[in-house]
Structure 1
Amino acid sequence: MKNFIIICFLLLVGHQTVNAQKALRVYVVRHAEKLTGDPKEKDPELSPEGSERAQALAKELKGQKIDSIFSTNYKRTKLTGFPLADKIGISIKTYNPDQTKALATQLIENAKGKNILIVGHSNTVLEIIEAFGGEKPVKPLTDDDYDYLFTVTVKGKKVEVKTSRYGASHHTEGGEAKAMKSNK
């Protein structure tokens, strides 16, 4: 009996050690381009460019084995994550941006070894990164910043943030917007 208890203890400690060494990977994006024709519309859908970007996000992350997708409760954020959710067969979970820190804490504690996508807004994306313990990798996002893909990796107390871009680019190396198509 004593040996059985020791073996169970060692298995438990070994399991916790393995879980502690697994990294949580969180992909953070701003919603894709939205329709802007009606300034009174508080919950617009994606524009055709936004729909293309949402498809590009699905293509970009399709091999990453995403376990969960979180979105605010707006059409534009849900529609940004939907092509990927549909492709991999999962539902999008909504979160309140005022509770980002609580969501981050919950995921850090309970989602080790998982890959998560969080879709936010221009004024929340960098806060999400900070909630996971990362440093802001870029200056505050503008209304034209749609192509950033931030990867936050949390492994124990170590947090790493990588910045990349996906879909149609509208940035130059200096981070300034490229000239949009001419409206001739």
Structure 2
Amino acid sequence: MLFSSLLFLRLWRWLLPVCVVLLAGACASVEPRKASQPAFTTVYVVRHAEKDPTPGLPDPSLTAAGKQRAQTLVDTLRKATITAVFSTATTRTRSTAEPLATARQLPVQPYDARQLAALAARIRREYKGQTVLVVGHSNTILETVEALGAPRPVPAVQDSEYDYLLQVRIPQDSTQAASAVARRYGVR
């Protein structure tokens, strides 16, 4: 009995410091939970709202219905934490982007619709883990989705369709593919 007690004490003297070191290491590796960066960068892509249909206008403005749709976009994205707004240089795209940019106190940043790869690279680099809005044209919004690395969520956007709201999710993990979904907003 005395022998087993002495053995236990010797073992305990050796085991106790080891347990303390292991416990301290485990506690040190547990950091307070920080607000982590979202796992995705989210990009909303929309076409400009309804434009003046008068033939031959070089830079048509929005119709009353288009102005209403631009306002509806603000309401539609009210829960999204938009941190940047991009628009081409036309009156109709800027007029679609401005109500949301104004509501969020953000500038409307211009981009060149012929340089979609540059826009996509900028969003990936400067807005990682954030949510942005891109306003383009019927012949550029699906190409924007593709430039962001996602497949087209619809085969085409007709010239008469102004109500698509495309949502692209770009994973922070570059081994995962980007995805896109299409939904409609406002009055069709």
- TM-score (ref. length: structure 1): 0.78
AA matched with 1:72:
T
Q: Flag as ranges the 4+ runs of structure 1 deviating above 2 A.
A: none
Q: What residue number does 1:163 align with?
A: 182
Gaps of 5+ in 2: 1-28
SS at match of 1:62: coil
1:174 is matched with: none
Gaps of 5+ in 1: 1-9, 170-184
Counterpart-to-counterpart distance in 2, 1:89 and 1:102: 25
Q: CA deviation at 1:133?
A: 0.6
How far, CA to CA, are the matches of 1:41 and 1:163 in structure 2? 30
Candidates 67, 73, 86, aligned match of 1:57: 73
Report if the CA contact (8 A) 1:25-1:151 is conserved. Answer: yes
CA contact (8 A) 1:22 1:112 kept: no
Q: Which residue of the partner structure matches residue 139 of structure 1?
A: 155
In the aligned structure 2, how far is the partner of 1:74 from the partner of 1:163?
24
Query: How far apart are 1:132 and its partner, in Å?
Result: 0.6
In structure 1, which of residues 49, 67, 76 is the aligned counterpart of residue 83 of structure 2?
Answer: 67
**Pair 1:95-2:111 in alignment:** yes
Aligned to 2:10: none
Structure 1 residue aligned with 2:51, among 12, 17, 34?
34
Amino acid at match of 2:81: K
Q: Secondary structure at the match of 1:154?
A: strand
TM-score normalised by the chain length of structure 2: 0.77
Deviation at 1:110, TM superposition (A): 2.6
Give 3-state SS (helix, strand or coil) of 2:114's partner: helix
- Partner residue in 2 for 1:129: 145
% identity of equivalent residues: 39
User: Aligned pair count?
Assistant: 152
Q: 2:121 aligns with which of 63, 82, 105?
A: 105
Letter in 2 for 1:33: E
1:175 equivalent in structure 2: none
**Following the alignment from structure 1 to structure 2, what is the Cα–Cα distance between the partners of residues 22 and 105?**
18
Separation (CA, whole Å) in 1 of partners of 2:154 and 2:70: 22
Contact 1:104–1:132 (8 Å) recurs in 2: yes
Who wins on radius of gyration, i.e. which is larger?
Answer: 2
CA RMSD of aligned residues (A): 1.7
Q: Equivalents in 2 of 1:113, 1:33: separation in Å?
A: 31
Instruction: State the distance in 1 between where 2:136 and 2:87 align.
Output: 6
